[in-house]
Structure 1
Amino acid sequence: MAHRALILASCLFAGAATHLGGAAQASPDVALNGTFTARSDGLWATTNEIMVYQPDVVATWTVTSSCTTFQDCTGTVISDQGWTAELVYQSQRWKAAHVIEGWQRCPDGSTAPGEQTFTFWAARLDAPDRHDRLSGWDQTIGPSGACGVNRSLNVRMPFTLTRIG
């Protein structure tokens, strides 16, 4: 009986090892390329963690990227709003960031920059259409101390990226 249990355990282990090895070798292509509509949803925006309506922002992005491995992907986002940002893939999420000069308006008429970061991902990595609609966050943070306030202005909105070409 012990001999049969040992044979069964050996077969199960071998099957699991084969299955895991096959899954590791068949990693999906994660490179993201094409033209997309980028939409930041102001209805669900938060300002310093308090719900505050912001106008929706809709732009067209041209995205190019390439991957040397499943975990090492880089690229570029070009927005029709006039900015370009580096694109990086980490922990199953894409991230692009750029600086918006004069983003925060102060009562005295001065301004402060904001760093806008888009973080987004596919809902299912194994879906054949995983690059057609991605979702995540658009977050812009101003510097602490701007406008004489020792707290960063932080605006965060839900974000979707939908393929159009």
Structure 2
Amino acid sequence: MSVSRVSACVVAVAAATAVSLSGASPAGATEQWGINGIYATSSNGDWAKVNDRYEDQPPVRSNWTISTQCLSPTECSGTVTSDAGWTAPIYTTNGLWYVKRVVPNWRFCADGTPIEGMQVYKIYPVGFDGHVDLDSVEYTGEDVTTGPSGSCGRNQWPVVRMPFYMRPA
């Protein structure tokens, strides 16, 4: 085969590829990578752990309004507004969604001194079988709140860890 025929084949393949791609929608136009809408959430206090020891805590239920924007399936950010009266950022890292917020007056020491906590929700989409399902609209994970070490005279971070679940409201 001559060089001109090889060049003609390469040009024809390139032209066919360009024509087929020109009709394709841009990334994100048909993909829904983010989490958007109103979700019913629940932190299960029946399975709570306080400093790695099971200890019942009050359950926490609320509705979240979530708005996110994504550049790719692994790069999203946005805002969560809870009907409990707080707003916090939401973002993705390594396939997990994170919501982080400061909880003022989270716990009180024996003398009445309040301490704040850092609450972190780590969530991921889950299917009916309990495994990761990227197409699911239901999410599970954990709700972890940590206080500062040394609070209330103890050289230990107080930590409350609860299972978390979220589904469209």
Matched ranges for 1:11-160 at <5 A: 29-123=32-126, 124-127=132-135, 130-131=136-137, 133-160=138-165
User: Is the radius of gyration larger for structure 1 or structure 2?
Assistant: 2
Distance change >3 Å, CA 78–CA 145, structure 1 → 2: same
Distance in 2 of aligned mates of 1:38 and 1:160: 6
Distance in 2 of aligned mates of 1:136 and 1:69: 22
* TM-score (normalizing by structure 1): 0.79
Residue-by-residue CA offset, 1:90-113 (whole Å, 9 max, x unaligned): 111110010111111101110110
Structure 2 gap segments, 5+ residues each: 1-26, 127-131
Structure 1 gap segments, 5+ residues each: 1-24
Distance in 1 of aligned mates of 2:54 and 2:121: 19
Amino acid at match of 1:156: R
Runs of 4+ in 1 over 2 A off after TM superposition: 124-127
Q: Superposition RMSD on alpha carbons, in Å? A: 1.7
Structure 1 position 125, deviation (Å) = 3.5
* TM-score (normalizing by structure 2): 0.77
Once structures 1 and 2 are overlaid, which stretch shifts more, 66-75 or 39-48? Answer: 66-75
Residue-by-residue CA offset, 1:61-106 (whole Å, 9 max, x unaligned): 0000010112210010000111100000111111001011111110
